């Protein structure tokens, strides 16, 4: 029996660009129109208009928290021009969550930038930190009642995107864009993000942390892509080196925060030469990552250690699969590893599944991570059994008896048994996509 602490948050997560639809002022929207092979986000899940229905489904299933984001490109369509109507929209979202008894966890930046910000040089532009600060200052005005604020989503992935955007103008590099879903075969491992960009993002995070705290009283943190890197014998030194540049720089940047968001999907092996390239396997997920529900335990323990013991909120964990039984199996197993870390003393405050909805996965619609299916034409929502299952776990605040564990045990754990490590394909595709657009040029 795995139990979770009192007051544990149980919920699901989304990001504005992936669900709202028609974020036409975002740099990613521009990318979608330019990069060969990329699908468009278009109307996405039309959650811009249907957010209340989404939250009702979440709350109705028994979940008590919803992580969603505010889209900077909507709030500040031109530098210094603030849309009061958009702020009111996001305030309505917060109110809707609160009325439903759902704790809002709000992300201020989730990969996408306003086009004008990209044109100014993006995150390495001279005014980047000031621009972000000014945006955040405006947003703090609507965050009353929000107890958890994530300043930035996966700065370690964002650094990689920013780096790749330097090649934006190069058509040959643009042609190398890799789909996270439709390409076959072994993929190259993601490059390391440039630490100079990482340090700039840390600076941006620090520039807004106290501002948000003072003006809202929310717990403030950022969410880091946990790669659950594990050394093969002989790979220990290499592991340290890679961990720093890919993850720990950002976890160190979280020191002094109120919490740190852990986002975990899979794990990768490191040998003396580096990360082992992905090996194709029938157990891989729809984005080509290894089936590794144990990654969450590795991620949470490493994050706890590297931040010197900051409270952890699992802000994303999930699996791209068309088989909902497999989603339940993966999640049940991941929660068991999370519970073991908690039992060992890691202070974990909640678990937010990625994702509430099947959504636009940064260039593709194929990889389905959702607890709820969405008809792309009618926008009809169809909850999957995994939504009710997670709601039941939330209701019991425990795993281990009853139908949840029966279902979870029925899954295919071959990937774990084999210990097969894969590269994070979804990120490769996304990075490739960013190559051509973000921040508009070298």
CA 273, 275, 279, 281 torsion: positive or negative? Answer: positive
Task: Give whichever of 12 and 100 is closer to ligand FCB, judged by the CB atom.
Answer: 12
Q: Are 26 and 71 in contact (CB under 8 A)?
A: yes
Q: Are 258 and 220 in contact (CB under 8 A)?
A: yes
Q: Are 369 and 318 in contact (CB under 8 A)?
A: yes
Shortest CB 369 distance to ligand FCB, Å: 6
CA 105, 254, 142, 108 torsion: positive or negative? Answer: negative
Task: Give whichever of 259 and 404 is closer to ligand FCB, judged by the CB atom.
Answer: 259
Site for ligand FCB (CB under 6 A): which residue of 140, 153, 178, 317? 153
Q: Please name the residue ranges forming H helices in 248-323.
A: 249-252, 295-306
Shortest CB 153 distance to ligand FCB, Å: 5
426 near ligand FCB, rule: CB under 6 A: yes
Site for ligand FCB (CB under 6 A): which residue of 15, 35, 55, 218? 15
Site for ligand FCB (CB under 6 A): which residue of 27, 71, 76, 154? 154
Shortest CB 263 distance to ligand FCB, Å: 6
Shortest CB 238 distance to ligand FCB, Å: 23
Q: How far is CA 42 from CA 19, 34, 45, 114, 182, in A?
A: 10, 14, 9, 17, 20
Binding mask 250-269 for ligand FCB (x = CB under 6 A): -------------x------
Give the pairing type, strands 229-231 and 103-107: unpaired
Task: Give whichever of 61 and 320 is closer to ligand FCB, judged by the CB atom.
Answer: 320
Site for ligand FCB (CB under 6 A): which residue of 27, 257, 361, 434? 361
Q: Which of 154, 247, 316, 333 is catalytic?
A: 154
Shortest CB 254 distance to ligand FCB, Å: 16
3-state secondary structure of 152: strand
Shortest CB 17 distance to ligand FCB, Å: 8
Q: Which stretch binds ligand FCB (CB under 6 A): 25-33, 151-159, 331-339, 345-353?
A: 151-159
354 near ligand FCB, rule: CB under 6 A: yes
Shortest CB 46 distance to ligand FCB, Å: 18
Shortest CB 319 distance to ligand FCB, Å: 9
Phi/psi zone of residue 228: left (φ > 0), alpha (ψ -120 to 50 degrees), beta?
Answer: left
Task: Give whichever of 225 and 387 is closer to ligand FCB, judged by the CB atom.
Answer: 225
Q: List residues bridging with 9 in a β-sheet.
A: 350
Nearest Cα to Cα of residue 293 among 261, 262, 320, 331: 331
Task: Give whichever of 13 and 310 is closer to ligand FCB, judged by the CB atom.
Answer: 13
Which contiguous run of DSSP H or E holds residue 135?
A: helix 128-140
Binding mask 208-247 for ligand FCB (x = CB under 6 A): -----------------x----------------------
Binding mask 307-326 for ligand FCB (x = CB under 6 A): ---------x----------
Task: Give whichever of 115 and 425 is closer to ligand FCB, judged by the CB atom.
Answer: 425
Q: Are 72 and 137 in contact (CB under 8 A)?
A: no
Give the pairing type, strands 103-107 and 148-153: parallel
Nearest Cα to Cα of residue 260 among 218, 217, 314: 314
Task: Give whichever of 94 and 160 is closer to ligand FCB, judged by the CB atom.
Answer: 160
Q: How far apart are CA 237 and CA 243, in angstroms?
A: 10
Is 252 marked active-site?
no
Q: How far apart are CA 240 and CA 302, in angstroms?
A: 12
Q: How far apart are CA 333 and CA 400, in angstroms?
A: 10
Nearest Cα to Cα of residue 21 among 379, 407, 397: 379
Binding mask 76-115 for ligand FCB (x = CB under 6 A): ----------------------------------------
Q: Are 31 and 436 in contact (CB under 8 A)?
A: yes
Chain residues binding ligand FCB by CB under 6 A are 15, 18, 153-154, 157, 225, 263, 316, 354, 361-362, 369, 426
* Active-site residue set: 154
């Amino acid at each position: 029996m795995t139990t979770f602490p009192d007051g544990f948050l149980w919920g699901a997560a989304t990001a504005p660009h992936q669900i709202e639809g028609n974020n036409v002022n975002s740099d990613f929207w521009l990318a979608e129109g330019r990069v060969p092979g990329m699908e468009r986000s278009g109307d996405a899940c039309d959650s811009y208009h249907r957010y209340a229905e989404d939250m009702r489904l979440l709350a109705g299933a028994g979940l008590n928290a919803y992580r969603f984001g505010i889209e900077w490109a909507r709030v500040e369509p031109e530098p210094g021009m603030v849309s009061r109507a958009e702020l009111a929209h996001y305030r309505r979202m917060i109110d809707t969550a609160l009325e439903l008894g759902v704790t809002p966890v709000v992300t201020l930046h989730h990969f996408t930038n306003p086009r004008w910000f990209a044109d100014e040089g993006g995150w390495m532009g001279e005014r980047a930190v000031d621009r972000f600060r000014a945006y955040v200052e405006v947003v703090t005005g609507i965050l009353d009642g929000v107890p958890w604020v994530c300043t930035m989503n996966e700065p370690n992935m964002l650094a990689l995107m920013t780096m790749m955007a330097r090649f934006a103008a190069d058509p040959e590099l643009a042609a190398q864009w890799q789909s996270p879903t439709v390409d076959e075969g072994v993929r190259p491992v993601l490059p390391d993000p440039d630490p100079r960009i990482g340090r700039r993002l840390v600076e941006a995070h620090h520039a807004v942390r106290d501002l948000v705290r003072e003006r809202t009283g929310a717990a403030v943190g950022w969410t880091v892509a946990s790669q659950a890197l594990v050394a093969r014998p002989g790979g220990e030194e290499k592991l340290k080196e890679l961990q720093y540049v890919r993850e720990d720089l950002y976890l160190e940047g979280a020191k002094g925060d109120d919490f740190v968001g852990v986002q975990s999907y899979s794990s990768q092996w490191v040998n003396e030469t580096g990360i082992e390239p992905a090996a194709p396997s029938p157990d891989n997920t729809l984005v080509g990552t290894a089936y590794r529900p144990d990654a969450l335990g590795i991620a949470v323990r490493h994050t706890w250690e590297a931040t010197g013991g900051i409270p952890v909120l699992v802000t994303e964990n999930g699996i791209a699969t068309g088989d909902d039984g497999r989603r339940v199996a993966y999640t049940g197993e991941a929660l068991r590893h999370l519970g073991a870390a908690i039992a060992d003393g890691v202070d974990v405050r909640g678990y937010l599944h990625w994702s509430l909805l099947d959504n636009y996965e940064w260039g593709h619609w194929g990889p389905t991570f959702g607890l709820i299916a969405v008809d792309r034409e009618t926008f009809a929502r169809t909850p999957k059994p995994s939504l009710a299952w997670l709601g039941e776990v939330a209701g019991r605040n425990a795993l281990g008896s009853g139908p949840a564990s029966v279902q979870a045990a029925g899954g295919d754990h071959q990937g774990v048994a084999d210990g097969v490590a894969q590269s994070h394909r979804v990120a490769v595709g996304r990075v490739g996509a960013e190559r051509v657009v973000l921040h508009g040029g070298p």
